[in-house]
Amino acid sequence: MAPRTQRLRVAVRGAVQGVGFRPFVYRLATDLGLRGWVLNSTSGVRIEVEGEAAALEAFRLRLEREKPPRAFIQSVEASYLDPAGYAGFAIRESDASGERRALVLPDIATCPDCLREVLDPSDRRHRYPFTNCTHCGPRYTIIEALPYDRRQTTMKAFVMCPTCRSEYDDPSDRRFHAQPNACPVCGPQLELWDADGRVLAERGTALERSIEAVRGGAIVALKGLGGFHLVCDARVGPAVRELRRRKAREEKPFACMFPSLESVRATCEVSAPEERLLLSPEAPIVLLRRRTRAGAGVSAGRGAGRPGDAAASGALDPAIAPGNPYLGVMLPYTPLHHLLLAALAFPIVATSGNRSDEPICIEEHDALERLSGIADLLLVHNRPILRHADDSIVRLCAGRELMLRRARGFAPLPVALPSTVGSPPVLAVGAFLKSSVALSSRGEAFLSQHIGDLATPQARTALADTARDLGRLLEIRPRIVACDLHPDYPSTEFARRTGLPVVAVQHHEAHALACMAENELAPPVLAVSWDGTGYGTDGTIWGGEFLRVTDEGCERVAHLRPFRLPGGEAAVREPRRSALGLLWEAFGEEALARDELPPIRAFSPAERGVLAAMLRRGVQAPVTTSAGRLFDAIASLLDLRQITRFEGQSAMELEFAAQESDADGAYRFELRDAPAASPAVGDATTGSLADWEPLLRAILDDCHAGAAPGDVARRFHNALAELIVAVARTCGLPRLVLTGGCFQNVLLTESAVVRLRAEGFTPYWHQRVPPNDGGIALGQLVAAQRGPKPGS
Ligand SMILES: [Zn+2]
Ligand SMILES: [Zn+2]
Ligand SMILES: [Zn+2]
């Protein structure tokens, strides 16, 4: 990629004023030849620097590594924006005009000073799992109301001992006004429970016995910062498979917690930005590429070696992330995790403490009920968790971080909204999958933590609770509620029940507006909005959409050629149904006779009969333009997967297959006029049709000729990038946003970015807000503020 000037905006929160931070930033920026400014704001320090990508990344690394000794960073939020054309670097006047609202900080990973105390046998907090200070510890998960003060946190039940009190009252102490301040004398304590809730041990003994249990292969439910984890030995052995069996989680990858950065390096490749993310105060799960030769057991069955060998070498169990070249990795972020991992000295599985897709457990008696049958033991404590916060998940994409799940460490920090100061506060309730809510007030959007899929009653309750809780905490009373256009989503029902004026926002328009908002883009923009499922204005399932977003509205300028999904919803779990829908559209009845094709072979003759009847009559076979289902279909044709075990699995596997290939060339989509009226998001219009039939025929030819699946997958990705370029050319707008769940795919995003730039377009993609439905509430907020049309 040719060097290009970008602007990096950084909001640093923490103890960064009065410690020489601004002169430090000045020296660092000028040293790296960057232009821009730094200033003190009401919430910390704000920085904008401009230069080439490599210099900006170096700036980010050194900002955290070389900061002044007395500075402490609690959170760094960065986003890349278009250059502003700064000349030179300046320390600007403090900005006192900013938002005066007291900010609710996210939970912060244990700081080095606290860790040192916990590990120091002579310190009074030696081995104390709830050690914290003003630089670290729980925040969002313990705050009942603002102002942030101990009596308004879940720490109010603990009366500080005289020593803690004197720290708390001493302005020169690191614990001056540290609200969760505690010590072994006065603070929260551990208990170890059996699966019936009987107390087996307390305090240090509870920890010791938990360590022994994990070593012995047990599954322990561990109450952490934002909820329960289920933890077990991650190395080859029976524990991981047993956890899968008990949790009824077949193949969806488990995240792991490693004892140290060094131990991560032994298993995964870690670049400098990835190291920064792992060690950051936000301490998210980072998706890292696994080393192929470290015996890490990349795939079940393939080259994993004999189990005995692998166990001896301390390799991870292949069942952690079957067939997946990536691993979700985090480092310990509370003293409890540090103590546990230091004693174990091997990686553990640390997955959300829930049953299947329910929200994470935060309360021990609830955990006892919901996790009995999964956990052998519960390691709990008596510091109440007020609201859940799952681990956030990020991955590196085109040299920057891409948020996949926004929760602990980030929620509920705001994102600036474009020119909306003065508009009424809005509540946005998201869609169905990866649900989250958002609230806007005075030019800022506060995004809630990840809630989860709304398939369970628990998740639906959590949605309503989170919406209420966030409003109360931030003292925002919404006057409008924005929801998805889908009439039957539980989130839509919830929106109606609020009694507020409802603005229903088309799903892919919301994706587009979310991506525009975080990149601070004003219309007009061409949005490539691709995902699995979204309700279209014509009542069909959309998902492969090109939308022109203007000041006036949003127009569907192109979309994938529609095809039918036999069995409807069932197609989400069965890629072979998408493949059949595609083949039926192209070849009609003849499709079912093509026994040489894996998706056809995957159905019994009886099943074929039923499906053919659905397709013939168009009954139980809804029409879709979904790009996600197109990914499924191709994965099925390549026989990578006929039935998925978790959402998005086949698209992921197609991406992984493509990454193994460096085949060039691309299959061809044919861009032609859409036949009949192709309803717009708002106004009527006709757009273009991206016909996948030439691509389908070429793929069938290649498969017939014995082409490697990886090469086919690669040329499919290339074809999508070329399609984006082709539509961009016909549309003529210089700026594009790439949004929707399909753009969690790094290969697709990077290919599109490279090709668009080569053709003179400027592409934008997601950074701080997930491209998947976890980010959709932000777009709904913007839509409601752009021109509320209440009354649906
Ligand atoms: Zn600390
Ligand atoms: Zn104390
Ligand atoms: Zn979506």
* pLDDT tops 50 at residue 81: yes
CA of 109 to the centre of ligand 1 (A): 8
Q: How many C-beta atoms surround the C-beta of residue 442 within 10 A?
A: 15
Phi and psi at residue 629, to the nearest 5°: -70, -30
User: In which band, very low, low, confident or very high, does the pLDDT at 405 lie, cut at 50, 70 and 90?
Assistant: very high
CA of 605 to the centre of ligand 1 (A): 64
What region, left, alpha or beta, does residue 432 occupy, with left being phi > 0 and alpha being psi -120 to 50 degrees? alpha
Range with the largest mean pLDDT of 3-17, 99-113, 420-434, 486-500: 486-500
User: In which band, very low, low, confident or very high, does the pLDDT at 139 lie, cut at 50, 70 and 90?
Assistant: very high
User: In which band, very low, low, confident or very high, does the pLDDT at 102 lie, cut at 50, 70 and 90?
Assistant: low
Distance (Å, rounded) from C-alpha 143 to C-alpha 153? Answer: 5
Q: In the predicted model, what is the mean pLDDT of residues 245-257?
A: 95
Asked which of 227-236, 286-295, 471-480 is least confident by mean pLDDT, the reply is 286-295
Distance (Å, rounded) from C-alpha 708 to C-alpha 111? Answer: 49
Residue 355: its pLDDT value, please? 84
Residue 43: its pLDDT value, please? 77
Residue 786: its pLDDT value, please? 82
CA of 631 to the centre of ligand 3 (A): 15
CA of 323 to the centre of ligand 3 (A): 25
Overall residue count recorded for the chain in this entry: 792
* pLDDT tops 60 at residue 678: no
Of the ligands numbered here, which is closest to the C-alpha atom of 161?
Answer: 2
Of the ligands numbered here, which is closest to the C-alpha atom of 771?
Answer: 3
CA of 404 to the centre of ligand 3 (A): 13
CA of 161 to the centre of ligand 1 (A): 18
Of the ligands numbered here, which is closest to the C-alpha atom of 163?
Answer: 2
CA of 183 to the centre of ligand 2 (A): 4
Distance (Å, rounded) from C-alpha 441 to C-alpha 425? Answer: 5
Tokens of 715: 């040329």
**Any idea which residue has 């490599």 for tokens?**
54
Of the ligands numbered here, which is closest to the C-alpha atom of 117?
Answer: 1
CA of 775 to the centre of ligand 3 (A): 9
User: In which band, very low, low, confident or very high, does the pLDDT at 409 lie, cut at 50, 70 and 90?
Assistant: very high
Q: Is the peptide bond before 412 cis (omega within 30 degrees of 0)?
A: yes
Which residues are close to ligand 1, an ion, with C-beta < 5 A?
111, 114, 133, 135-136
Residue 303: its pLDDT value, please? 39
Q: Is the dihedral of CA 23, 26, 29, 30 positive or negative?
A: negative
Residue 686: its pLDDT value, please? 61
CA of 245 to the centre of ligand 3 (A): 30
Non-local (6+) Cβ contacts of 644 within 8 A are 572, 573, 574, 575, 632, 650
What region, left, alpha or beta, does residue 34 occupy, with left being phi > 0 and alpha being psi -120 to 50 degrees? beta
Distance (Å, rounded) from C-alpha 47 to C-alpha 54? Answer: 17
* pLDDT tops 60 at residue 313: no
Cα angle 600, 604, 605 (rounded to 5 degrees) comes to 90
Give per-residue pLDDT as tens, 183-219.
999 999 999 999 999 999 999 999 999 999 999 999 9
**The 89-91 sheet, strands edge to edge:** 72-81, 5-15, 44-52, 35-41, 89-91
Residue 230: its pLDDT value, please? 98
Residue 713: its pLDDT value, please? 98
DSSP 703-755: HHTT--HHHHHHHHHHHHHHHHHHHHHHH--SEEEEESGGGG-HHHHHHHHHH
Query: Which percentage of the chain shows pLDDT scores above 70?
Result: 93
CA of 125 to the centre of ligand 2 (A): 9
CA of 558 to the centre of ligand 3 (A): 17
* pLDDT tops 60 at residue 304: no
CA distances from 389 to 353, 368, 511 (A): 12, 19, 23
Of the ligands numbered here, which is closest to the C-alpha atom of 187?
Answer: 2
Of the ligands numbered here, which is closest to the C-alpha atom of 137?
Answer: 1
Distance (Å, rounded) from C-alpha 321 to C-alpha 652? Answer: 12
CA of 184 to the centre of ligand 3 (A): 47
Of the ligands numbered here, which is closest to the C-alpha atom of 431?
Answer: 3
Give per-residue pLDDT as tens, 413-456.
988 887 655 689 999 999 999 999 999 988 889 999 999 999 99
What region, left, alpha or beta, does residue 295 occupy, with left being phi > 0 and alpha being psi -120 to 50 degrees? left
Q: In the predicted model, what is the mean pLDDT of residues 566-585?
A: 96
> Are residues 769 and 411 in contact, defined by beta-carbon separation less than 8 angstroms?
no
Distance (Å, rounded) from C-alpha 274 to C-alpha 261? Answer: 11
CA of 131 to the centre of ligand 1 (A): 7
Non-local (6+) Cβ contacts of 189 within 8 A are 202, 203, 381, 382
Query: Which percentage of the chain shows pLDDT scores above 90?
Result: 85
**When comparing pLDDT for 338 and 70, which is higher?**
338
Residue 423: its pLDDT value, please? 84
Q: Where are the beta strands (DSSP E) in 423-540?
A: 426-428, 438-441, 444-447, 480-484, 502-505, 525-535
CA of 268 to the centre of ligand 3 (A): 30
Distance (Å, rounded) from C-alpha 765 to C-alpha 749? Answer: 8
CA of 304 to the centre of ligand 2 (A): 50
* pLDDT tops 90 at residue 519: yes
Give per-residue pLDDT as tens, 616-627.
999 999 999 999
> Are residues 503 and 779 in contact, defined by beta-carbon separation less than 8 angstroms?
no
Of the ligands numbered here, which is closest to the C-alpha atom of 432?
Answer: 3
Give per-residue pLDDT as tens, 6-31.
999 999 988 788 888 999 999 999 99
> Are residues 662 and 708 in contact, defined by beta-carbon separation less than 8 angstroms?
no
In 3D, which of 428, 400, 455, 385 has the Cα closest to residue 227?
A: 385
Q: In the predicted model, what is the mean pLDDT of residues 293-304?
A: 42
Give per-residue pLDDT as tens, 270-291.
999 999 999 999 999 999 999 9
* pLDDT tops 90 at residue 642: yes
In 3D, which of 766, 668, 670, 772 has the Cα closest to residue 718?
A: 668
CA of 534 to the centre of ligand 3 (A): 6
Distance (Å, rounded) from C-alpha 165 to C-alpha 146? Answer: 21
Q: How far apart are the first and last CA of the chain?
A: 46
In 3D, which of 762, 770, 710 has the Cα closest to residue 742?
A: 770
Residue 293: its pLDDT value, please? 58
Q: What is the SS3 assignment for 44-80? A: EEEEEEEEEHHHHHHHHHHHHHCCCCCCEEEEEEEEE
Distance (Å, rounded) from C-alpha 93 to C-alpha 28? Answer: 19
Residue 100: its pLDDT value, please? 53
Of the ligands numbered here, which is closest to the C-alpha atom of 173?
Answer: 1
Q: Is the dihedral of CA 248, 253, 257, 263 positive or negative?
A: positive
CA of 162 to the centre of ligand 2 (A): 7
CA of 188 to the centre of ligand 2 (A): 10
Which residues are close to ligand 2, an ion, with C-beta < 5 A?
161, 164, 183, 185-186
Residue 99: its pLDDT value, please? 54
Distance (Å, rounded) from C-alpha 127 to C-alpha 118? Answer: 5
CA atoms in the 13 A half-sphere facing the CB of 480: 25
Interhelix angle 575-587/693-704, rounded to 10 degrees, is 110
* pLDDT tops 90 at residue 740: yes
Residue 94: its pLDDT value, please? 79
User: What distance lies between CA 689 and its chain's CA centroid?
Assistant: 31
CA of 530 to the centre of ligand 3 (A): 7
In 3D, which of 609, 704, 699 has the Cα closest to residue 654?
A: 699
CA distances from 688 to 36, 146, 226, 730 (A): 43, 52, 47, 9
Residue 93: its pLDDT value, please? 82
User: In which band, very low, low, confident or very high, does the pLDDT at 687 lie, cut at 50, 70 and 90?
Assistant: confident
> Are residues 412 and 446 in contact, defined by beta-carbon separation less than 8 angstroms?
yes
CA of 145 to the centre of ligand 1 (A): 22
CA of 280 to the centre of ligand 1 (A): 14
